[in-house]
């Protein structure tokens, strides 16, 4: 790296006067880039005459100062070029060390190309479901936008990212969805920062949209009873019953196995999940012998209604096994199966539930709103919020409180009565 001040001292730029053709000339002495002594002659335009030497010296000094500034500027430019070259060299070496491949990546790598390299690298440290969602989001809107707006990784700044979020808003995407895009971009750039590929993380300066306040729909007790009655001959009847009684997530109810049911001690253990992912445009069902979080693993008491429904389904499945021509034993460990013994798929549950409501002229809610209905019912029966958190399997109390606090009207009425009583006493 070039030290400008040291180079300037070593160069030792001086000036002297020489007479040529009866004119004073300024002789600037300096050293070139190869440390060789050089001279530059500049005419002062002042004739050699008595009293003109001092005037010529002052003019020569001005020439020296001007030359020194030009020299300093040149040295600065050389230093900048040297630093940039060193920076790019380090970037290329680091990039190809982190992402070894047949292709040699350089400082011109686009942000979108880096993002695709990063997700491959991050796959080993991500849940497969998380990886598939990240990959799908990268290959869809992120790829579409940043391919039409090609920006180098080294040139990416917060305004580029902010413009992407504004584009997503113009596409009428929910702020919660944009926050998920932000999480992916920020995580990828944070990795680049920690690997010394970029000096700062530009995503840290972005103003992300505020998350929408969620207000879930829910069924009343009467509506739930009507739903139970209308669905009793439907393939989703047990799925609906389990979800409404225990507030299960879709992945949890479909992941239930017979081993999770203890008929003797009357308990149900939530410990398996079934999810549907989209990987490179192909749908894939993924079974996991664990729940979403540690708090999602829970053991709950088996109610009489659910236990009877389970007995009925178990008996029906045992009978269906005799019809081997159309019945499969591949999913015999699972509870929620169709008539052919196949595992009910998540997308099917969502779409069929919607059709079931339309067919029976019931109020339209999402399947997930059965979980909210369970929470609402518990709140209306004065069950503490902490107990509801454990029943639903939320990791944090704040999650439960944020989602369902607006339903806790009895607590608000008690607060209103307390305030009213306080003012009445003051009077």
- 277 and 140 together in one domain: no
Which of 205, 229, 246 corresponds to the end of one domain?
A: 205
Asked whether the predicted pLDDT for residue 214 surpasses 90, the reply is no
Distance CA 82, CA 88 (A): 10
Q: What average pLDDT does this structure show over 11-22?
A: 85
- 244 and 388 together in one domain: yes
- 236 and 196 together in one domain: no
For residue 150, give Cα distances in angstroms to 99, 112, 120, 156, 185. Answer: 20, 8, 20, 10, 15
Q: What average pLDDT does this structure show over 390-407?
A: 68
- 261 and 173 together in one domain: no
Domain membership flag for residue 295: yes
Domain of 118, CATH number, reads 1.10.150.130
Asked whether the predicted pLDDT for residue 1 surpasses 70, the reply is no
Domain membership flag for residue 269: yes
- 173 and 285 together in one domain: no
- 290 and 406 together in one domain: yes
Say what the pTM is: 0.64
Distance CA 60, CA 14 (A): 10
Tokens 């008539």, located at residue: 339
- 172 and 318 together in one domain: no
Q: What is the crossing angle of helices 221-230 and 237-246, to 10°?
A: 160
Domain membership flag for residue 318: yes
pLDDT at 403: 62
Asked whether the predicted pLDDT for residue 51 surpasses 70, the reply is yes
- 11 and 153 together in one domain: no
Domain membership flag for residue 105: no
Q: Residue 66's CB: how many other CB atoms inside 10 A?
A: 12
Distance CA 236, CA 310 (A): 13
Please, which pLDDT band fits residue 400 given cuts at 50, 70 and 90? low
pLDDT at 100: 84
Q: What average pLDDT does this structure show over 338-353?
A: 93
CB burial class (10 A; 0-12, 13-18, 19+) of residue 327? middle
Please, which pLDDT band fits residue 242 given cuts at 50, 70 and 90? very high
- 227 and 338 together in one domain: yes
Asked whether the predicted pLDDT for residue 229 surpasses 90, the reply is yes
Please, which pLDDT band fits residue 115 given cuts at 50, 70 and 90? very high
Paired strand residues for 276: 285
Please, which pLDDT band fits residue 390 given cuts at 50, 70 and 90? confident
- 293 and 379 together in one domain: yes
Q: What is the rounded average pLDDT for all residues in the chain?
A: 84
Distance CA 162, CA 192 (A): 19
Encoding tokens for residue 390? 């454990």
pLDDT at 266: 93
Query: How long a stretch of residues is the chain?
Result: 427
Domain membership flag for residue 211: no
pLDDT at 162: 95
Parent domain of 334: 221-411
- 79 and 197 together in one domain: no
Q: What average pLDDT does this structure show over 377-406?
A: 75
**Comparison of pLDDT for 425 and 273, the residue scoring more:** 273
Identify which of 34-38, 40-44, 129-133, 305-309 has the greatest average pLDDT: 305-309
Please, which pLDDT band fits residue 417 given cuts at 50, 70 and 90? low
Domain membership flag for residue 104: no
Q: What average pLDDT does this structure show over 386-401?
A: 76
pLDDT at 102: 57
- 293 and 232 together in one domain: yes
CB burial class (10 A; 0-12, 13-18, 19+) of residue 17? middle
**Comparison of pLDDT for 379 and 32, the residue scoring more:** 379
Asked whether the predicted pLDDT for residue 344 surpasses 90, the reply is yes
pLDDT at 119: 94
Please count the CA atoms within 13 angstroms of the CA of 205 that sit on its side-chain side.
10
pLDDT at 2: 47
**Comparison of pLDDT for 49 and 278, the residue scoring more:** 49
Domain of 346, CATH number, reads 1.10.443.10
Please, which pLDDT band fits residue 372 given cuts at 50, 70 and 90? confident
Domain membership flag for residue 124: yes
Please, which pLDDT band fits residue 376 given cuts at 50, 70 and 90? confident
Domain membership flag for residue 43: yes
Residues in contact with 88: Cβ distance below 8 Å, sequence separation at least 6, in sequence order? 106, 107
Q: What average pLDDT does this structure show over 330-352?
A: 92
∠ CA 311-351-389, nearest 5°, is 65
HEC sequence for the chain: CCCHHHHHHHHCCEEEEEEECCEEEEEEEEECCCCCEEEEEEEEEEECCCCCHHHHHHHHHHHHHHHHHHHHHHHHHHHHHHHHHHHHHHHHHHHHHHCCCCCCCCCCCEHHHHHHHHHHHHHHHCCHHHHHHHHHHHHHHHHHHHHHCCCEHHHCCHHHHHHHHHHHHHCCCCHHHHHHHHHHHHHHHHHHHHCCCCCCCHHHHCCCCCCCCCCCCCCCHHHHHHHHHHCCCCCCHHHHHHHHHHCCCHHHHHCCEHHHEECCCCEEEECCEEEEEEECCEEEEEEECCCCCHHHCEEEECCHHHHHHHHHHHHHHHHHCCCCCCCCCCCCCECCECCCCCECCHHHHHHHHHHHHHHCCCCCCCCCHHHHHHHHHHHHCCCCHHHHHHHHCCCCHHHHHHHHHHHCHHHHHHHHHHHHHHHHHHC
**Comparison of pLDDT for 69 and 159, the residue scoring more:** 159
What is the tens place of the pLDDT at every residue in 100-113?
875 777 778 899 99
Please, which pLDDT band fits residue 405 given cuts at 50, 70 and 90? low
Domain count, the chain: 3
Which of 172, 205, 238 corresponds to the end of one domain?
A: 205
Residues in contact with 134: Cβ distance below 8 Å, sequence separation at least 6, in sequence order? 119, 122, 126, 184
Distance CA 83, CA 296 (A): 53
Please, which pLDDT band fits residue 212 given cuts at 50, 70 and 90? low
What is the tens place of the pLDDT at every residue in 76-99?
777 777 777 777 777 888 888 888
What is the tens place of the pLDDT at every residue in 271-328?
898 888 777 777 788 887 777 677 688 999 999 999 999 999 999 988 887 776 788 8
Which of 205, 229, 250 corresponds to the end of one domain?
A: 205
pLDDT at 250: 93
Q: Residue 251's CB: how many other CB atoms inside 10 A?
A: 20
**Lowest pLDDT segment from 5-19, 132-146, 365-379:** 5-19
């Amino acid at each position: 790296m070039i030290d400008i001040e040291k180079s300037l001292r070593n160069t030792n730029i001086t000036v002297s006067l020489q007479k040529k053709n009866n004119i004073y000339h300024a002789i600037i002495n300096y050293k070139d880039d190869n440390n060789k002594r050089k001279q530059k002659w500049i005419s002062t335009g002042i004739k050699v005459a008595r009293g003109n030497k001092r005037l010529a010296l002052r003019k020569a000094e001005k020439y020296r100062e001007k030359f020194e500034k030009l020299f300093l500027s040149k040295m600065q430019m050389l230093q900048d070029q040297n630093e940039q070259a060193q920076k790019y060299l380090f970037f290329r070496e680091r990039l190809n060390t982190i992402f070894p491949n047949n292709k040699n990546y350089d400082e011109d790598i686009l942000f979108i190309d880096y993002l695709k390299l990063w997700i491959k690298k991050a796959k080993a440290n991500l849940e497969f479901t998380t990886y598939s969602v990240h990959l799908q989001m990268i290959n869809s809107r992120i790829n579409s936008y940043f391919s039409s707006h090609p920006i180098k990784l080294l040139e990416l700044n917060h305004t580029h990212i902010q413009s992407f979020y504004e584009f997503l808003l113009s596409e009428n995407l929910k702020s919660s969805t944009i926050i998920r895009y932000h999480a992916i971009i920020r995580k990828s750039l944070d990795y680049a920062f920690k690997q010394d590929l970029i000096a700062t993380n530009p995503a840290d300066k972005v103003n992300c949209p505020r998350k929408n306040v969620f207000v879930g729909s829910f069924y009343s007790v009467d509506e739930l009873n009507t739903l139970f009655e209308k669905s009793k001959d439907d393939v989703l009847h047990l799925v609906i019953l389990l979800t409404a009684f225990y507030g299960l997530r879709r992945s949890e109810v479909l992941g239930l196995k017979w081993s999770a049911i203890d008929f003797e001690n009357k308990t149900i253990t939530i410990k398996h999940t079934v999810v549907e992912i989209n990987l490179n445009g192909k749908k894939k069902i993924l079974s996991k012998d664990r729940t979403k979080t540690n708090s999602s693993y829970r053991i709950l008491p088996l109610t009489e209604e659910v236990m009877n429904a389970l007995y009925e389904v178990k008996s029906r499945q045992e009978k269906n096994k005799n019809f081997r021509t159309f019945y499969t034993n591949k999913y015999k460990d699972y509870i929620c199966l169709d008539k052919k013994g196949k595992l009910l798929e998540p997308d099917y549950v969502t779409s069929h539930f919607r059709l079931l409501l339309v067919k029976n002229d019931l109020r339209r809610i999402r399947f997930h709103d059965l979980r909210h209905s369970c929470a609402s019912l518990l709140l209306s029966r004065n069950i503490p919020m902490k107990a509801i958190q454990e029943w639903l399997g939320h990791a944090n109390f704040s999650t439960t409180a944020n989602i369902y606090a607006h339903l806790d009207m009895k607590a608000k009425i008690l607060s209103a009565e307390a305030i009213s009583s306080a003012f009445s006493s003051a009077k």
